[in-house]
Amino acid sequence: MTLMTADDLACRELVELVTAYLEDALDSMVLERFEEHLADCPYCQTYVEQIRITIELAGRVEVDQMSPDVRRRLVDAFRGWHSSEA
């Protein structure tokens, strides 16, 4: 096992950046750190692949395609998720 340096990306940081990574929106320095971590971490490799599969299977749902009830439940779920992190 190698020791992490201040420049290394932790798993928690990778998880926070995965959407930007998949959307090709990371700047070059962060992208390099992301991919270095990903190359050495099988857990993060699995996580990124799971997110890719989820996106592929779920596709894109437009807000106007959702019923008001579904939209409200999604918003409530994300509000609850965010407040539980604090």
Position 4 scores a pLDDT of 47
Kindly report, residue by residue over 6-63, the tens digit of the pLDDT: 456 799 899 999 999 999 999 999 999 999 999 999 999 999 999 999 888 777 777 7
Task: For the chain, give the DSSP string.
Answer: -PPP-TTSPPHHHHHHHHHHHHTT-S-HHHHHHHHHHHHH-HHHHHHHHHHHHHHHHH----GGGS-HHHHHHHHHHHHHHHHHH-
Q: How far is it, in rounded angstroms, from Cα 33 to Cα 41?
A: 12
Position 39 scores a pLDDT of 94
Q: Is 21 exposed, middle or buried (0-12, 13-18, 19+ CB in 10 A)?
A: middle
Q: What is the pTM of this model?
A: 0.62
Q: Confidence band (pLDDT; 50, 70, 90) for 82?
A: low
